[in-house]
Structure 1
Amino acid sequence: MPLLSRRSFLAAGAATLAAPLLPAIEPIVRPGSKADIKLSLAAYGYRQFLDLKKPTMTLFEFIDLAADLPLDAVELTSYYFAETTDAYLDKVKEHAAKKKLAISGVPVGNNFCVKDDAKRKVQIDLVKDWTVRAAKLGAKTVRIFAGNLEKGETLEMAQARVIAAMEECLEVAAKHNVLLALENHGGITATPEQLLALVKPIKSPNLGVNIDTGNFHTADPYADVSKIAPYGVVCQIKTEVQPAGGKKEEADLGRYVKILKDANFHGYLALEYEAAADPKVAIPKYVKELRKLLG
């Protein structure tokens, strides 16, 4: 079953319920009663090899590695594109297709909390540019961040700035049929309530949540992931979890998969490996475990 856009989810839900749905961001109405989760692999897991300062692996080689695993797609982090020309993007897209892998998404690193207007415009333009590039790659989502409070800033001021920036970027996302996925990435998205405070006010079918299972350092990260799962359009799953006041521990991947299934999640689950072990050894094991859990 192909990945549906948030607009498709809402349209399908409206048809099922025979009643119009408000365009506001609410828990996504997904077709059917069974989750449809496809498995992807984040390039970020191989960051020490892909780092453009001294790369020992190209995105093409990363795709080759992924093709040997039981995956449906690859997530191509924007940090590791050697070029951003149309010709290069076409080659990357063609290479993934040749290896029978979709490109699930393109994560971008941005900060919309920046107070300086000129500097914030650079951040907005970064997201806009990568949204266009994601569309050229055939990617469904662009992962974005909110950012961190600057000194002397109030949460309310930063939230207003982030919402305005996202609304501007969503105009480009809508034009290119791409979903922007706001991640729970600490800063002003450190709790489910803070994240949803940024998402809920925006009335756009092209906005959703990037669920990162390793980024809530709260008393119960699993419970908090379950709070944002109904808004998720993509999920990055980590192999570790760190509750408040505790040390990193092995994540219960089965529990996270169950949370997604209980939320009737439709979309890509991308393994984003950040643990200490050699990713070339550890990642294949976790991919196989996740494939088994997904069924």
Structure 2
Amino acid sequence: MDNRRRNIIRALAIAPFLLGMRKLMASPKIVAKAKDRLQYSVNAYSFNSLLRNGEMTFFDMMEFAASIGLDSVDLTGYYFSSYPEPPLNSELFQLKHKALKLGLNIAWTGIRNDFVNPDAESRKADSAMISRWLDVSSSLGATILRVFTGKHNYDGFSKNEVKEWLVAEYKTCAKYGEEKGVIVALQNHNEFLFTSDEIIDIIKRVDSEWFGLILDIGSLHAENPYDEIEKLAPYANYWFIKEHVYPNGIKTPVNMKKIANIVKNQGYQGYISFESLSDGDPKEIIASMFNSFKAEYEKL
């Protein structure tokens, strides 16, 4: 049999398979599922008192997250006993090992910094601390390190001057984040930048794909926080969903339907993390928030 005839027979043999694959790839159901890739996490601050008094560990938190069907955990830096110094790699690798056994990711860690401080040396020290914790994030396999603005008294300086400090430090951090493969993400925390426009301005001025936003829905105290959330949504690399929002600064239960709509309409594909700040059993509150959001999202 010559090569030409052999090639024709081979092509005829695989034609039904190729046709079936084309139909499968064109299936609307397959395409729809591919578009809905939200992952769910829990922030360690939800268990603040339990983690601080020793009633709970990160390992316990992971067990809880896996038990209710979450995909990941946020391991906040200041619950490591060494903080602000980085923990040993042996400790980090035990956490990674536990996460693997439970089928979880470690998506996030975060530290406290204050770039509003007028003292340049203090800002430089905080920037160096962020670099060390970017190493920690990389060792954990976390893709995001949370940072703040800070809320130091800056008497004698204008707000625009302070914003220049922020941009300069964030650029330095983002550059190192790029080297480590970790996004440095600002959590809007109602400390120095209070509106969506101010936050977006800083993100644009830093101008790095390695600097982004953790959208904290509970830290926007405008007349209509949902409008502010919607404006920030295109910039979000990560979401913190809390049980309350603050229209005009007034504590109000979150409308999960509105949040789910904003997330869905934006086409967001990353992590949604739940954080409880309320009294009561944090496990019950987190499980309820998770189920409530998922129920609303899946209706859309």
Contact 2:149–2:166 (CA<8 Å) still a contact in 1?
A: yes
Q: Secondary structure at the match of 2:248?
A: coil
- 1:255 pairs with 248, 253, 258, which one? 258
Contact 2:184–2:212 (CA<8 Å) still a contact in 1?
A: yes
Give the structure 1 partner of residue 102 of structure 2.
99
* 1:289 shift after superposition: 2.0
CA distance in 2, matches of 1:33, 1:64: 28
User: How has the CA–CA distance of structure 1 residues 224 and 108 changed in structure 2, closer, same or farther, with 3 Å as cutoff?
Assistant: same
Q: Secondary structure at the match of 2:116?
A: coil
* 1:221 shift after superposition: 0.4
Matched, 1:47 2:48: yes
Contact 1:132–1:172 (CA<8 Å) still a contact in 2?
A: no
- 1:128 pairs with 128, 131, 143, which one? 131
* 1:279 shift after superposition: 0.8
Give the structure 1 partner of residue 197 of structure 2.
193
Give the structure 1 partner of residue 26 of structure 2.
none
How many residues are aligned here?
A: 261
Equivalent runs, 1:116-265 vs 2, <5 Å:
116-148=119-151, 149-246=153-250, 248-265=251-268
Stretches of structure 2 lacking an aligned partner (at least 5 in a row): 1-32
CA distance in 1, matches of 2:286, 2:34: 31
Equivalent runs, 1:1-16 vs 2, <5 Å:
none
Q: Secondary structure at the match of 1:104?
A: strand
CA distance in 1, matches of 2:263, 2:36: 8
Q: Deviations over 1:156-203 (max 9, x none)?
A: 111000100011111210001111111111122211011112110122
Q: Secondary structure at the match of 2:173?
A: helix
User: How has the CA–CA distance of structure 1 residues 138 and 232 changed in structure 2, closer, same or farther, with 3 Å as cutoff?
Assistant: same
Q: Secondary structure at the match of 1:201?
A: helix
Contact 1:70–1:287 (CA<8 Å) still a contact in 2?
A: no
User: How has the CA–CA distance of structure 1 residues 92 and 195 changed in structure 2, closer, same or farther, with 3 Å as cutoff?
Assistant: same
Q: Deviations over 1:126-160 (max 9, x none)?
A: 21111111111111111111122522321111100
Give the structure 2 partner of residue 75 of structure 1.
74
What amino acid is aligned across from residue 62 of structure 1 in structure 2? M
Q: TM-score, normalised by structure 2?
A: 0.83
* Coordinate RMSD, CA, aligned: 1.7
User: How has the CA–CA distance of structure 1 residues 245 and 41 changed in structure 2, closer, same or farther, with 3 Å as cutoff?
Assistant: closer
CA distance in 2, matches of 1:233, 1:153: 31
What amino acid is aligned across from residue 46 of structure 1 in structure 2? F
Structure that is richer in helix per residue: 2
Stretches of structure 1 lacking an aligned partner (at least 5 in a row): 1-31
Give the structure 2 partner of residue 85 of structure 1.
88
CA distance in 1, matches of 2:146, 2:81: 19
Structure of greater relative contact order (alpha carbons < 8 Å, 6+ residues apart): 1
Q: TM-score, normalised by structure 1?
A: 0.84
CA distance in 2, matches of 1:232, 1:245: 22
User: How has the CA–CA distance of structure 1 residues 227 and 129 changed in structure 2, closer, same or farther, with 3 Å as cutoff?
Assistant: same
Contact 2:275–2:286 (CA<8 Å) still a contact in 1?
A: no
- Identical counterparts, % of pairs: 28
